[in-house]
Amino acid sequence: MSKKKSKVLSDHKKVGKKLLPPLMHQVSGVTPSHYDRDTLPELLWLALIENMHGLRVAAAIAEEIGTFVKESESNCRFITITEMKNVDKIEWSALRTHLSGKEMLDLLISAIHDLVVLYPECPLRNLMKQVPVKLRNDNFLASLEVLVADLTYKRGRRAVLMQANALYLLGSQGKLFIKKGLSLGNFEALKDYPDTEESRKVGASMCASSAMVVTLPGNDDLNVWRWPKYFWKRNLEQLPITFDVNKRSSK
């Protein structure tokens, strides 16, 4: 029996002089989202809460903020940091009061305090009556670096919990309807992520859905202030890139 000679990249479609991979030619109108560039910084505050206080507290705070948004019929979802920029003082005050009443305000502030010190334009500064200028943890930048490195792996535990919390927050506002039986609804399973198959299914759904939470109108408008742009620029100010001018190697 003769073997057919396998053609290199045979599953790609030739369009002009380009070979398009299956996902690009079978699914039209796909706009790629940027997890590490946009989603990670936008939801970083949720990861900071989980990092400091654990999953249960993070989920509880997310639920309470979601409840506030629903009850106050706020225009802001309070999910991405960028969208919090346009929240007015009255609404911030109302949120502070709501969280304080549930004994959650101090927990939230403790998690994001040093972020606000190092990134003074961060809208989360409005959670505090007075914007702080002194770090509580002098090693915060180093720990932030470690956390962001961890979060860079989108399917890692930290990142999945962060994305899940964002979706949970959206659900708590009554804005996310999940059909019964779908993995996306089984948040509870994530406490075991990634050690069980069910948790991995749920985690995969979270990863697949998180982009829709972060994608907002005007995201590509260069004239509009966006937290990810500020975050990455500020990182270069605080931690300049160094060049190894005299590098020698045995390559």
Residue 245 found at the interface with other proteins (CB under 8 A)? yes
Shortest CB 223 distance to other proteins, Å: 23
Per DSSP, the three-state class of 18 is strand
Three-class SS string for 140-199?
Answer: HHHHHHHHHHHHHCCCCHHHHHHHHHHHHHHHHCCCCCCCCCCHHHCHHHHHHCCCCHHH
Shortest CB 147 distance to other proteins, Å: 8
Residue 16 found at the interface with other proteins (CB under 8 A)? no
Say how many CA atoms lie within 13 Å of 172 toward its Cβ: 22
Give the nearer residue to other proteins in terms of CB position, either 124 or 151: 151
Task: Write out the two tokens for 74.
Answer: 């706020």
Window 23-62: contact mask with other proteins (x via CB under 8 A):
-------------xx-------------------------
| Total interface residues for other proteins by CB under 8 A | 24
Give the nearer residue to other proteins in terms of CB position, either 24 or 141: 141
Residue 250 found at the interface with other proteins (CB under 8 A)? yes
Q: Which stretch binds other proteins (CB under 8 A): 19-27, 108-116, 140-148, 190-198?
A: 140-148
Q: Which stretch binds other proteins (CB under 8 A): 43-51, 83-91, 144-152, 181-189?
A: 144-152
Site for other proteins in 202-241 (CB under 8 A): 232, 235-236, 238-239, 241
Residue 243 found at the interface with other proteins (CB under 8 A)? yes
Residue 251 found at the interface with other proteins (CB under 8 A)? yes
Q: What is the DSSP string of 82-111?
A: GGGGG--HHHHHHHHHHHHHTT-HHHHHHH
Alpha carbon separation from 148 to 33, 48, 78, 114 (Å, rounded): 18, 10, 21, 15
**What span, in angstroms and rounded, lies between the C-alpha atoms of 165 and 1?**
56
Q: Tell me, what DSSP letter sits at residue 28?
A: -
The answer to whether 235 touches 145, Cβ cutoff 8 Å, is no
Beta-bridge partner residues of 13: 20
Q: Which of 152, 174, 195, 225 contacts other proteins by CB under 8 A?
A: 152
Angle (nearest 5°) at CA 62 between 214 and 206: 50
Site for other proteins in 63-102 (CB under 8 A): none
Give the nearer residue to other proteins in terms of CB position, either 7 or 251: 251
Per DSSP, the three-state class of 125 is helix
Question: Where does this chain bind other proteins (CB under 8 A)?
Answer: 36-37, 141, 144-146, 148-149, 151-152, 232, 235-236, 238-239, 241, 243-245, 247-251
